Structure 1
Amino acid sequence: MSLPPLFHTTASLGALQPSPNVPSVTFRLYFPASFPTHITSIRVIGDFQPHTTPTASAWDPSSAPALFASVPQAEGTFWTLALNARLPAGFYEYQYVVTFDDGSAPRIVADPCARYAGRGANRSGFVIGGSTAAENEVTPLAARKPLGDLVVYELHALDFTDEFRGGRAPLDALRDKLDYLVDLGVNALLIMPWTAWKDALFDWGYQPFQYFAISYAYANDVNRPEEKISWLKRLISACHERGIHVIMDGVYNHCDESFPYKSFYLRPDDCPYTAQPFGGTFPGLQDLDFNNQCTQDFIRDVCLYWISQFKIDGIRFDNTVNFYVPGNPRGLPELLQSIEDYVTADGQQNFSMTLEHLDLDAANLVSTTAATSYWDNAIYGQAASALWSGTISPLYLAALNNTQYVSPGKTATLYLSNHDHSTIAWAAGAPTLSGGGAWFRTQPHVIALLTASGTPLIPAGQEWAEDYWIPEDDAGSGRRVRARPLRWAGTTDAFGKPLGQLYRKMLKLRAEHPALRGPGFYPPKWEGWMQQFDAQGFGVDVQRGLVVYHRYGNGDDGALERFYILLNFGVAAQTVQMQFAEDGEWEDVLADSTVKVAGNRLTVTVESNWGHIFFKKTA
């Protein structure tokens, strides 16, 4: 049977304080019908135990209180314990001790529906006291924008706050830089997975362990351990007050191999959430089994929990290739539709759902499901290749207009790099071992990204030429997952300051002109054999390293906006004769000057690794 939306939260699963005035906790577990666990007993151990009886010790199974099983119901069986003890305010950790009917050794298991992650490996947590839910109501956005109007800034909360947070929770410290992001021109944050991984060590978060909990490493404040969830809620409110959308990074194809639910089954292979692979698999990770309705309901409720309680504005879905099976509505399509149904019924608009679907059918999948966007590797691939080889491909221009392949109102998400790759500044300096010192080589790529048809994504620090390398393939060693702490002095040094100025100017231009956020693009297609400009002077000149294209559309006032864009990716200045649709004065945006077009032509000299954007509005 299908469970009602938000079942996993309305059923009070996990370990929760019953009310702010009751300093105790209720533990509750759920197991779906038709999948026998063979459990005979469940007890709970943790550092709360000394407060239960005078003789109890922390983490002592012999004095651990027991949960009691309900009479089996249509949806399954519940195990519950309302602890009869008053607990001092603070943060507590716990685990379950589970025994089975075959007499095998007890297992120590974390809580799959815990709302708090433990600091220790494979532990869960709960809080007594601290601020109340009523004190942490999330402020919604005044007006949520369509994804096509956003500039997304991707960050890892630990790396982003490494230099300045001290003992504060990273999610709290992150608020310190929100005004910087607004000044930059960003209006959306994509935070790498905050759902809990299995310990408090550094991680990227793509091996989820407890889906309803925030990572301990993200939420822990050494001076205020009882505050955890509140930091994320306050961060989202602070973002919304500044017009910044918050996008969650969700990992739903797979989980950590030690996913707690597995250990509650005598035979872990019988766990219905993970029994069989669904679609593709990812080596070293536990596939989730969307063949079973309980898994579909569980992941749906994970998404709805963060939407309903934290008022997030979108979700990026990681590794969707592996939980999409063509022709099968289960897995990804049903998940997207259930979210769309919920937010629509709730009166929400413009909730974004972006797929990391690195496959040729990505645009079609977005067009035929409730998804709104997909991660498009095209500009990243073209830029990385050009920076390494020193030569642009004819397909560079095509990469700037992939939004044309999705249905109206949907978009491609474009980037020069992201968390999965080395920084674009590293790629610029790699051929000469210059690192971020070759930042100027990224300039035409930045202009291209921010005038392309699609939603731009900027990984943290790219705007000041932050310089990190990671291997594209670490052969299973785990060496890709490494800390890359931001070095904030780069914002004002000789590399970062001029590059940051370019980003600010380009992002301001994009925000002010709907034509740069819309679909109008000429030439609409460009093939790999086309190595010279067309008869109108548009396209790619491979030999000279030049690209020319036209962006157009109506402004907010209904007037036609035209942008003619010339980019030089080469090492020498080039002189180009450009053709224009209209004579008269045009604004040379990057030069803060004007030019006069006569006879529909203009001869332009463009410096190396630079560009021109000519703008005119026609009533």
Structure 2
Amino acid sequence: MIDLQEVGAFSHQDAGGNWQISFGIYLPGITFNKGYRLKVRIIHDFDQFVRGIEPKDFWMSWDNGSALDRWDVTVPLTPDPESRFGQPGRYLYRYELLRGDQDVTFWFTDPFGRESGIGTLSSVTVNAGLPAFTWTDADFSVPEVDRMVVYELNVREFNRDFDGVIDQLNYLGDLGVNVLELMPISNVKEDVEWGYTPLGYFSPDERLGGADGLKKLVDACHARGMAVILDSVYSHAHPEFPYNLVYDTSGEPNPMMGVFAGEFFDKPGTDYTKEFTRDYFFALNQYYLDEYHIDGFRYDYVPGMYDGFMGEGYANLVFRTYEFSKTIPRFKAGDRSKIIQCAEHLPGPQEILSRTYSNCCWQNGLLDRGRDMAKWNYVSADIAHQLDPEFLGYPTEYHNPTSGDTFPVAPFQYVESHDHARFINSFGQTALRDLLNEPYGNRALFYKMQPYIIALYTGKGIPMLWQGQEFGENWGVPGSGIGRNLFERPVHWEYFYDTAGKALVSLHRILGGLRRTNQALSSRGYFFYYFDQDHLAKHVIAYRRNSITGQPEESALVAINFSNQDQQIMLPFPVTGQWKEQMHGTHPVVTVTQNDQQQLITIPSNYGVIFGRQ
């Protein structure tokens, strides 16, 4: 069983007050009695590029009898007058594996390293006066599934680093956001990388702010009532990930990696039939929940780790993680946990929610339907059905008949994600192109996005925004190739100030506020007014959202016009009273004198109306 207290690198003082660093690493099957020798090479960060200063080498000992073949050494930081060695600061290190006097793996990082250097280096900090991070989030509670509004972002592209994200939290809160989904933040080798080829799983990338930066971000989010989930890449890794590189070069049976069962054939895959793999990623989840107060995980490419709902891979991992989370106060809701476990299993999202301990999932239904409608300029009932996941076979709760565990579940709903060109590009493109020759979307057509945004916030499921969507970001993304994830697309914050940006941000803020305050919009109730074919002929859909209590007088009536002309439709109002339009209040108040009374309403072009009872 993996014990995180005995692997990685830790600085500490001996009985005499002298600083030293303890190193430990598991290398199953790689033992001293087979002729292997292992050294750790260490250098002070300030000495890294100084001519004449070389790393110091220390041989490690194999722990004979350890179940996972642990190697370890404790290095005294004896001051060296010729270098910074022995002084406080950051120390960079790597491992070198030999057999006899011959190199087997000349350079590999620490698979349990808590900090990283640039490229393929791990690091550890020695600082006698550095206080431990002080958390202030004891009162934070993770939002319920039905109350979530998610914002997906790439930290570097969004605003430089973790501190840059903190600077924008009030802005995100105004959009109704209460969950941040961070694209992968673990250490990677390349300078520009989406993060989907991890190198150092336990190490938040130091270019984004490292360990302390991530803690500051999570604590700041919790202070504003926002949860934080990590995009977690557990089905494949970088070719230089230690448990791929070491066993590839040594020829020993690999305890963790195998052939990747997916579309990315250049990446080594993780093998969940192996106990070490299962324990490694469970220990990783525990670490981020405990050390960084992370609120859950968006599991990338689940088909690469899924072997059925009773399998040893994905299903086992989310179950163990759920059980562990029950002990953490911010997840408690009676006898269940509110930990967010979101699966990207696009081939079978319904089964994932029905049969595993996942409470949410990605699914491309609304994105695909919206883009097809935008491209071909039509409206069908399918768009309304996409706003009712239960109609499409999604469960509303997970129930385990054996354990009795029950919790609410729902899919994410989105029209944009990092995997696709921007939604605004579906309506038209400009002559301008980026360095990959991808065209930019025509932001002059921003108004055509508006009805889809209204649908996103007012339908069932969990709304998710992709960074910059709220002001009409218009990057393109190639369908394949390294240009997808090795090309930086910084958010165009200047768009926030122009006509298109102001209009879209204003709409997102209005809808975010309504989603937060109107219980009907975060309920499980939904009724599509399909019987009136006149609606579809006019490119209009209309539906009712019922409140959590199910009382009709607490409903929200939504009508959305996807056409370029104002449209008038008949809409049934469920109960008597005064009904007022909620977004702008400019529509005349509707007086209803009998239940289910039909009223003629006008819907602006490429827009919508939301009525609530006063």
Deviation of 1:58 after TM superposition, in Å, equals 4.0
Deviation of 1:37 after TM superposition, in Å, equals 9.9
Letter matched to residue 42 of structure 2: G
Equivalent position to 1:216, from 177, 182, 206: 206
Equivalent position to 1:505, from 510, 515, 520: 510
- The RMSD of aligned alpha carbons is 2.9
Provide Cα deviations, 1:254-278, integer angstroms capped at 9, x if missing partner.
1111111233337556453444337
Letter matched to residue 613 of structure 1: I
In 2, the alpha carbon distance for the partners of 1:481 and 1:102 equals 38
Residues 390 and 281 (structure 1), Cα distance of their counterparts in 2 relative to 1, 3 Å cut: closer
Equivalent position to 2:10, from 9, 16, 22: 16
In 1, the alpha carbon distance for the partners of 2:302 and 2:414 equals 18
Equivalent position to 2:280, from 278, 284, 298: 298
Contact persistence 1:565–1:614 (CA under 8 A): yes
In 2, the alpha carbon distance for the partners of 1:241 and 1:100 equals 52
Contact persistence 2:113–2:200 (CA under 8 A): yes
1:569 equivalent in structure 2: 562
Give the number of equivalent residue pairs: 575
Structure 2-normalised TM-score?
Answer: 0.87
1:580 equivalent in structure 2: 573
Contact persistence 1:429–1:439 (CA under 8 A): no
| Secondary structure, counterpart of 2:605 in structure 1 | coil
Identity of aligned residues (%): 24
| Secondary structure, counterpart of 1:64 in structure 2 | strand
Contact persistence 2:28–2:255 (CA under 8 A): no
2:90 equivalent in structure 1: 91
Residues 48 and 595 (structure 1), Cα distance of their counterparts in 2 relative to 1, 3 Å cut: same
Contact persistence 1:428–1:436 (CA under 8 A): no
Alignment of 1:155-554 (within 5 A): 155-162=153-160, 170-199=161-190, 201-219=191-209, 228-265=210-247, 267=249, 270-277=252-259, 279-280=261-262, 282-326=264-308, 328-347=310-329, 348-349=331-332, 350-359=338-347, 361-403=348-390, 405-408=394-397, 409-430=408-429, 435-471=442-478, 473-474=479-480, 476-523=481-528, 534-535=530-531, 537=532, 541-554=535-548
2:437 equivalent in structure 1: none
Deviation of 1:534 after TM superposition, in Å, equals 3.8
Contact persistence 2:198–2:238 (CA under 8 A): yes
Contact persistence 1:453–1:518 (CA under 8 A): yes
Residues 96 and 554 (structure 1), Cα distance of their counterparts in 2 relative to 1, 3 Å cut: closer
1:530 equivalent in structure 2: none
1:529 equivalent in structure 2: none
Equivalent position to 2:63, from 47, 61, 70: 70
Is 2:607 the counterpart of 1:610?
yes
Residues 23 and 281 (structure 1), Cα distance of their counterparts in 2 relative to 1, 3 Å cut: farther
Equivalent position to 1:42, from 16, 32, 38: 38
In 1, the alpha carbon distance for the partners of 2:75 and 2:66 equals 20
Deviation of 1:233 after TM superposition, in Å, equals 0.7
Residues 102 and 45 (structure 1), Cα distance of their counterparts in 2 relative to 1, 3 Å cut: closer
1:151 equivalent in structure 2: 149
In 1, the alpha carbon distance for the partners of 2:514 and 2:69 equals 56
In 2, the alpha carbon distance for the partners of 1:519 and 1:50 equals 57
- Where structure 1 has 5 or more consecutive residues not aligned to the other structure, the ranges are 163-169, 220-227, 524-532
Residues 549 and 540 (structure 1), Cα distance of their counterparts in 2 relative to 1, 3 Å cut: farther
In 1, the alpha carbon distance for the partners of 2:409 and 2:156 equals 32
Contact persistence 1:279–1:325 (CA under 8 A): no
Letter matched to residue 333 of structure 1: A
Contact persistence 1:89–1:129 (CA under 8 A): yes
Deviation of 1:84 after TM superposition, in Å, equals 4.3
Deviation of 1:567 after TM superposition, in Å, equals 0.8
1:527 equivalent in structure 2: none
Contact persistence 2:187–2:204 (CA under 8 A): yes
Contact persistence 1:281–1:322 (CA under 8 A): no
Contact persistence 1:278–1:291 (CA under 8 A): no
Contact persistence 1:262–1:268 (CA under 8 A): no
Residues 243 and 346 (structure 1), Cα distance of their counterparts in 2 relative to 1, 3 Å cut: closer
Q: Which range is displaced more, 41-50 or 580-589?
A: 41-50
Equivalent position to 1:28, from 24, 31, 38: 24
Letter matched to residue 572 of structure 2: Q
Q: Which range is displaced more, 345-354 or 189-198?
A: 345-354
Deviation of 1:393 after TM superposition, in Å, equals 3.1
Deviation of 1:29 after TM superposition, in Å, equals 1.0
In 2, the alpha carbon distance for the partners of 1:299 and 1:35 equals 24
